[in-house]
Structure 1
């Protein structure tokens, strides 16, 4: 396994750490353990730091893969999978804490399931599909929006009462749907192959 793929796998392994740091523990358990009390108060900031770090490594593994010619079919499949797992985990946890509306999380995660289905169909035919520009832009907005929501609109809250984090989340939602539409449209031939 090359360096780029090792970084991608590391990003996947950071997801359980992100989940464990997220303050979602039952009150009864929190009241009994000092560590969980600390996580209940500050965990979301630790989780945000892990999320941001994991998101940054997405750019790092891509850069290394291109610079050192380490682009592989495994990397083409693992990289978007790592992104989807990280984003989905964050959306589910935030919806569970009512930081975002549940329907927003459902639509965004649903889109990822559909795209993953297309990738699996293509992969079964030994075709590895890469993310297009709209998908990459969607990812940037998702990371920015999730980071802002996790930090409860900080530091923007210091200069304005406007919920920029929620505005970013709805922008990310629109881009998620639009990029999904484009992806399906541009790769429709893959879905039709089994019909001939």
Structure 2
């Protein structure tokens, strides 16, 4: 197994501690902090769970960059990588977003629209594949992933510092995520626009 595939597997493994830490964080806040997720601050130990998740998430996104870099550089693009590389990214990002929306650290509608967009894009790619068409990844889709990868650590590291009960502070730390939302919708529209003729057929 080549290095890019090993990095992909490592990223998939990192999903496990993210889920475990989010679960422990949930239990801790409910048990010891009266379930006040929006009152996590620098005076509570629960902040360290968020910081640790943020660090693991950053490491995961670094492996994403490295496996793509080495795969292209060393011409080690494989069927395994094509399948599991984007899958590992989507699972990591989606699970993290679901937890963040549950704690009200980001907006639920952002998560819903992003999940719907991914379903539309995946469905479109399946239709393209059945028609023997190769559609290159949109630059807006790549930018969406970049903004998501930046937005999530920003939220995890800043939520213990800001007062998330104050709407404008919550909005400020979610600006990169909102940008990712618009990029997500636009790139999803581009895919769907190309698949419409096949749906009519």
Q: How does 1:1-196 map to 2 (within 5 A)?
A: 1-22=1-22, 23-25=25-27, 40-122=46-128, 130-152=136-158, 164-186=172-194, 188=195, 192=198, 195=201
Q: Which structure would you say has the larger RCO, counting Cα contacts within 8 Å and 6 or more residues apart?
A: 2
Decide whether aligned partners of structure 1 residues 83 and 130 sit closer, same or farther in structure 2, where only a CA change above 3 A counts: farther
Where do 5+ consecutive residues of structure 2 fail to align?
34-43, 164-168
Q: Secondary structure at 1:25's aligned position in 2?
A: helix
- How far residue 183 of structure 1 moved from its aligned partner, in angstroms, is 2.4
TM-score (normalised: structure 2): 0.77
The superposition leaves residues 9-34 of structure 1 with CA deviations (integer Å, 9 ceiling, x where unpaired) of 21111112111112222656669xxx
Aligned counterparts of 1:95 and 1:107: Cα–Cα separation in 2:
12
The question of whether the paired residues in 1 share the 8 Å contact of 2:8 and 2:84 is answered with yes
**Residue aligned with 1:100, SS:** coil
User: TM-score of the superposition, structure 1-length normalised?
Assistant: 0.79
* Bigger shift: residues 22-31 or 85-94: 22-31
SS in 2 for 1:99: coil
Aligned-residue RMSD, C-alpha: 3.1
Contact 1:153 1:163 (C-alpha < 8 Å) held by counterparts: no
Q: Distance in 1 between matches of 2:200 and 2:193?
A: 17
Secondary structure of the equivalent of 2:174? helix
| Structure 1: gaps (5+ residues) | 32-37
